[in-house]
Structure 1
Amino acid sequence: MKFLEVACLVILTVLVTDTLAENKPRKHKKYRRIHPVEKPTELAAEKDDKPIEVLPPMAAGVDMIDNRVPLTDPCLDVQCGAGMVCALDKDSEPQCVCIETCPEETESRRKVCSNTNETWSSDCSVYQQRCWCRNDDSRCKNDEYRHVHIEYYGSCREMPECKESEMADFPRRMRDWLFNVMRDLADRRELSPRYYEMEKDAESNMTRRWTNAAMWKFCDLDGHPPDRYVSRHELFPIRAPLMALEHCIAPFLNSCDSDDDHRITIKEWARCLELEEDDIEDKCDELAASDASTPEV
């Protein structure tokens, strides 16, 4: 009997314990869910097959336009003569046209004297007038201005007459002057490499003394544009600085244009300086090509 009471007590205890356990709230172990970190480029690649364009740092905040073609000024490589400027025509093609307006000059030292013995306000006004006349523009004052050029800087003044004896001796003086200028430029390292070689050759070879100097100056003047002719206005670098000192320079240079076509050939240049034509060859193109491929001295 006592055994049965003990057994019933044990069973009752177990039942009570299970009941309490069921009613007691359970504590669940918490786990932190880790989400994989996705790279922006990988996300974009999943959403869109197109690759993402990564802009350089300097492009931040700048609007980028696809298929934009950079524009280049067609006039950059166009060289126009004196009194002309490059402009685009209706087809956007570059062309040289007469300059419309010259800067207004008020200083007397800007004035120039032309071969027509007229004083102009500036060199621009001389070249502009010549351009208008050559293009049959209504602003051309006189047809003779087709060949107008500058004689010297400053207002026109009366020049002494070049005597016959002075003109006869002028070719020799001109040859000596050209060589001396060439030698001075070589000493100051202001000649291009090929011309520097010509000057050294003239120093050591007296027969080349004058011919090399004459060839150097002709090729040096024939550059606007290089067409194997020296026009009257291309002679300006020689004529203008010497007019005040050498009153024979203008008639001498005019005499070099023997056929009066307003341009001087290499043969006319040789005859004018009283040199043998065969001794002076037209090597300007060769000299220019040589200078382009030779480093500076």
Structure 2
Amino acid sequence: MKAWIFFLLCLAGRALAAPQQEALPDETEVVEETVAEVSEVPVGANPVQVEVGEFEEGAEEAEEEVVAENPCQNHHCKHGKVCELDESNTPMCVCQDPTSCPAPIGEFEKVCSNDNKTFDSSCHFFATKCTLEGTKKGHKLHLDYIGPCKFIPMEHCTTRFFETCDLDNDKYIALDEWAGCFGIKEQDIDKDLVI
């Protein structure tokens, strides 16, 4: 219903805003006036300038420069990579150096990765991810959200605690490692209760 009312108001406003022609009475005589012919000035000519070329004495003709087309101009690379030319002048994508990223303007440019590390900008994040490409850490690294990472209270304590519990450094804490961290004796562990 609201849409129809809005539509009708728009139509009425358009009709009122349209220029209206007044009907000419039948008795009105149309008189055409003749205009004296004016010498035509070429399009783009300055009517103040008396002679063509009067102000051209100081102008120099620009020499045409032959500019070689950059092969990287139409070669697009994914985030974190930039185009560079190899020895045969063929464009290829290489990882961007994070230091070549533009400096961030404000806090709103910062991004947080899934490992809770704040990067100055998405450029810095993707450049770092590219340099880690092919590694386990690079494969797991993802952009979590835009903005600086939230402070996780007590993370500095828990991280160190869990690292000391992981005796074989496999990033997983087995039941016997977990029990050892809390001082539970091996005979008190019932492995049948673990799912």
* TM beyond 0.5: no
The TM-score normalised by the length of structure 1 is 0.27
The structure with the greater share of residues assigned to helix is: 1
